[in-house]
Amino acid sequence: MTADLTSDLECRALTRHFGDVVAVQGVDFSVAAGSFFSILGPSGCGKTTIMRMIAGFLEPTSGDIRIKGRSVLGVPPNKRPVNMVFQHLALFPMMNVAENIGYGLRRQGVAKAEIIRRTGEVLERINLPGIGTRKVSELSGGQRQRVAIARCMVLQPDVLLLDEPLGALDLKLREKMKVELKALQAEFDTTFVYITHDQGEALVMSDAVAVMNAGRFEQVGAARDLYYRPETAFVAGFVGEANRWRGRVEAVDGTLAEVRSESGLLIRTQGQNLRPGDRVEIFVRPEAIAINLDAKTAAASPNQMAVQVSALLFNGANSRVLVRDPQSGAEIDVALPQSAEFSNLAKGAQVHISWGREQALCFADATL
Partner 1 sequence: MSSKRLGFFLLLAPLVLWLGLLIILPHIDMAIVSLRTRVAPREYAPSLDNYAAFVTEPLYLFTFLRTAVMSILVTVITLIIAFPISYYIAKIAKGRSQAALFLMCLVPFWVSELVRTFGWIILLRETGVISGFLQWLGLADQPVEMLYNDAAMMLGLVYTSMLFMVVPLTTTLESLDDAVIEAGYDLGGTGPSVLREIVIPHAMPGIVSGCIVVFMLSLGNYLTPTMLGGKDSLWFTQLIYSQFIVRFNWELGAAFGFCLLFASSVIVWATLRLTGQTLERTMGEGS
Q: Tell me the three state secondary structure of residue 87.
A: coil
Please name the residues in contact with 274: beta carbons below 8 A apart, sequence gap of 6 or more: 249, 252, 255, 257, 280, 362
93 vs 316, beta carbon nearer partner 1: 93
Kindly tell me which residue out of 77, 120, 142, 221 binds partner 1, with binding defined by CB under 8 A: 77
- Please tell me the distance from the alpha carbon of residue 79 to that of residue 299, in angstroms, as a whole number: 65
- Please tell me the distance from the alpha carbon of residue 129 to that of residue 87, in angstroms, as a whole number: 24
148 vs 289, beta carbon nearer partner 1: 148
88 binds partner 1 (CB under 8 A): yes
Neighbours of 346 (CB within 10 A): 7
135 vs 229, beta carbon nearer partner 1: 135
CB of 130 to partner 1, least distance (A): 23
90 binds partner 1 (CB under 8 A): yes
CB of 125 to partner 1, least distance (A): 18
Neighbours of 241 (CB within 10 A): 15
CB of 104 to partner 1, least distance (A): 4
Helical packing angle, 112-125 and 141-153, nearest 10°: 130
Q: Tell me the three state secondary structure of residue 148.
A: helix
Among 90-98, 203-211, 277-285, 344-352, the segment contacting partner 1 (CB under 8 A): 90-98
76 binds partner 1 (CB under 8 A): yes
Q: Tell me the three state secondary structure of residue 23.
A: strand
What spatial distance separates the first Cα and last Cα of the chain, rounded to whole Å?
Answer: 30
356 binds partner 1 (CB under 8 A): no
Please name the residues in contact with 148: beta carbons below 8 A apart, sequence gap of 6 or more: 85, 86, 89, 90, 91, 165
Kindly tell me which residue out of 40, 65, 123, 155 binds partner 1, with binding defined by CB under 8 A: 155
Scan residues 95-154 and list those touching partner 1 (CB under 8 A): 95, 103-104, 107-108, 151-152
**Contact between residue 70 and residue 45 where contact means Cβ atoms under 8 Å apart:** no
91 vs 233, beta carbon nearer partner 1: 91
CB of 127 to partner 1, least distance (A): 22
CB of 22 to partner 1, least distance (A): 21
Please name the residues in contact with 126: beta carbons below 8 A apart, sequence gap of 6 or more: 146, 147, 149, 150, 184
Kindly tell me which residue out of 15, 25, 61, 87 binds partner 1, with binding defined by CB under 8 A: 87
Scan residues 48-67 and list those touching partner 1 (CB under 8 A): 55-57
18 binds partner 1 (CB under 8 A): no
40 vs 161, beta carbon nearer partner 1: 161
Q: Which residues bind partner 1 (CB under 8 A)?
A: 55-57, 76-79, 83-84, 86-88, 90-95, 103-104, 107-108, 151-152, 155
